[in-house]
Amino acid sequence: MPPLKKSAAIPLRVLFIGSNGADAILAELERGGYEPAFEAVSSAAELVEALSSSWDLAISDFAVGDFGAIAALNLIQEKGVDLPLIAITGKSKDREVLSVLKAGAADHLTRANLMRLNAAVERELRAARLRRERNRLEEQFRQAQKMEAVGRLAGGVAHDFNNLLTVITGYSDLLLANRDLKESQRTALQEIRRSAERGGALTNQLLAFSRRQPMQTRVVRVNELVVQIEELLRRLIGEDIDVITIPAADPDVVVADPGRLEQVIMNLAVNARDAMPNGGKLHIETGTAQLNQDFPSKQLGVKPGRYVTIAVTDTGTGMDAETQSHLFEPFFTTKGTSRGTGLGLATAYGIIRQSGGAIGFSSRLGSGTTACIYLPLAADYVEPAVGGSVPEGRLTGAETILLVEDEARVRKLIADVLAARGYHVLEATRGGEALRLCRLNKGRIDLAVVDVVMPEMSGPDLVREMSPLEPQMRVLYISGYTEEAMVHHGIEQSGAAFLQKPFLPDVLARKVREVLDARSKSAPKP
């Protein structure tokens, strides 16, 4: 009969505070299946030095000269170290036992009876694991709250900024259409427009971080996307870094905005390049993962299920824990002030979260970094049909349009653009004024262009009140803050048309014509 296989001993880091009795404690721990790594201290100075290392457990004599368990507990608590301490006494007095337990000791044993030691150790190790897990979850929750607060701020700023950009880009475009401009005037206007477009790109990054950016989602095969951008990545990051792609996922179907997903991978690749100034290797590997209820689904903040993964691994300098804790914060960067805005990873975070997924990092200083993207597998997704676009040159009309926009400059721009294209425009600044115009022009309004977020009454609430008065009226919502538009007010579910600010005059005219033409196509034949 073969001998029974002994189970492996459990490593245990023990800090012993005392001058004698350590041998008996070691023997008892070994009997309980532990493999203790032991260090003994006998003074406050030695304990302070020892606390700079990591320990699983402290075992202390009740008294070590003028320094004992209670003084040790006070020092451990003062340093903020999570270290359970078991007190050992000789002939114990009740008041001594009570005093050491009141001071925070995890347990009390006598030297003559160490039989409970291993049970106490097991209990305290389990309790310490639970505390660490609770602390980790609490920190994760605090981080999520902080990210949400920053996201709301970013979305609010972007909303107001988009109104300004709509005016700047709109009037720049109208002036550029004038053929009588001097070349110097045209150059100045083009520079204004380019600057506004750069501002719009920055706003889009803020909206992506705050998960308020409209997404053009469709079925994406992750393997194909990774292969397609491989050559672009090679040119982007330089010849001194080897790019190795391993498209291993099968199935690999997700529902995402392919352009945004490429942007995320590009951002990760650029960060990896900057972490390898002397060259290295960049691996991009796809795969699948089943996330369960407990881990890592809960840790990542996503629903349990099957996910397609994209792992981007570099051999660079790595990051410490402090840097990793700030990775997704807007404008946080380890680069110089002239080398980046600090929005790359914040944008990546927002895009992936908006796609129903998660992104996580694993890194150590000097050992490289792995960023892993998780996107829900969507093998059964059916891509919706895409309608036709408005032909070039058909951006005019004679219909009556009710424009409801509380921002005066944006309202004037839109009214000027539509009136110049032949439309009869009725202007309103608030819901009550719009209802009055609707009653005065009953049966004559073909389209309502309505801002989503307004004082007194939201755009969707206004449309619900106008619909009985104008049942055939079409609606085009506009907003610079898409969370209210697409989620809170149910516009996405209603199927109503939506135009994101900032927009150019031709884009507005095209969308208006598209919505009006859709009405005529859907009207019953006589």
Residue type, 345: L
Tokens 């905005």: give the residue.
257
| Inside any domain, residue 154 | yes
Q: What is the pLDDT of residue 330?
A: 63
**Long-range CB pairs of 197-202, under 8 A, 24+ apart, other chains included:** 197/169, 199/161, 199/165, 199/168, 200/162, 200/165, 200/169, 200/502, 202/341, 202/343
| Inside any domain, residue 128 | no
Report DSSP letters for 149-175, one per residue. HHHHHHHHHHHHHHHHHHHHHHHHHHH
| Inside any domain, residue 482 | yes
Total number of domains in the chain: 4
Residue type, 292: N
Same domain, 234 and 355: yes
- Judge if the upstream peptide bond of residue 391 is cis by omega within 30 degrees of 0: no
For 466-507, the pLDDT digits (tens) are 999 999 999 999 887 654 445 445 565 566 788 888 888 888
Residues of the domain holding 165: 136-209
| Inside any domain, residue 161 | yes
d(CA 172, CA 180): 15
Residue type, 352: I
Strands 400-404 and 369-376 come out as unpaired
Q: What is the pLDDT of residue 250?
A: 77
| Inside any domain, residue 268 | yes
Same domain, 178 and 251: no
Same domain, 307 and 277: yes
Domain final position from 54, 86, 115: 115
Q: What is the pLDDT of residue 465?
A: 92
With H, G, I as helix, E, B as strand and everything else as coil, classify residue 280. Answer: strand
Q: What is the pLDDT of residue 524?
A: 40
| Inside any domain, residue 393 | no
Same domain, 425 and 314: no
Same domain, 296 and 232: yes
Angle, helices 344-354 vs 183-209, to 10°: value is 60
Same domain, 237 and 351: yes
Weakly modelled stretches of the chain, pLDDT under 70: 1-7, 65, 92, 140-141, 143-159, 201-216, 249, 294-298, 330-344, 379-394, 481-495, 519-526
| Inside any domain, residue 484 | yes
